[in-house]
């Protein structure tokens, strides 16, 4: 069945460091791909999305490119801030309407 695999965390970086969080997927067809972010004590919020191969989703300095050939959707940011500390989830929609999430990657940014 469809699935999403993320790199394990936690990821600890210093402020202004470069961030990559890996995400690979297994799916039938070419679904849209999403990154959600969960700040401490809150629900998930959509961070960015890509709807077809080679699309690049971007928001708040984060980017992710839909790579069909490697079935990947890695999240990147050139310079992280303390306020980016959160849990990041990669996700794709199943054909029954629900979102399938990866296990989440915790990012901690230190000043």
Partner 1 sequence: NAGVMQNPRHLVRRRGQEARLRCSPMKGHSHVYWYRQLPEEGLKFMVYLQKENIIDESGMPKERFSAEFPKEGPSILRIQQVVRGDSAAYFCASSSDSALANEKLFFGSGTQLSVL
* Contacting positions for partner 1 (CB under 8 A): 6, 31-32, 34, 36, 41-46, 49, 51, 89, 93, 96-104
Q: DSSP code of 82?
A: G
Q: DSSP code of 40?
A: T
Our CB check for partner 1 shows the closer of 28 and 96 to be 96
Q: What is the CA radius of gyration of the chain?
A: 13
Question: Least separation, in Å, of the C-beta of 31 and partner 1?
Answer: 7
Quick count: other Cβ atoms within 10 Å of Cβ 79?
11
Question: Least separation, in Å, of the C-beta of 34 and partner 1?
Answer: 7
Phi, psi angle pair for 84, to nearest 5°:
-80, -5
Question: Least separation, in Å, of the C-beta of 79 and partner 1?
Answer: 26
């Amino acid at each position: 069945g469809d699935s999403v695999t993320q790199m394990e965390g936690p990821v600890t970086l210093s402020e202004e460091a470069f961030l990559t969080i890996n995400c690979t997927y297994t799916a039938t067809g070419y679904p849209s791909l999403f990154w959600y972010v969960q700040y401490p004590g809150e629900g998930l919020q959509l961070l960015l999305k890509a709807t077809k191969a080679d699309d690049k989703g971007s928001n708040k300095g984060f980017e992710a490119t839909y790579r069909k050939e490697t079935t990947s959707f890695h999240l990147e940011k050139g310079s992280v801030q303390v306020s980016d500390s959160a849990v990041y989830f990669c996700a794709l929609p199943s054909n029954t309407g629900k979102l399938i999430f990866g296990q989440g990657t915790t990012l901690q940014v230190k000043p």
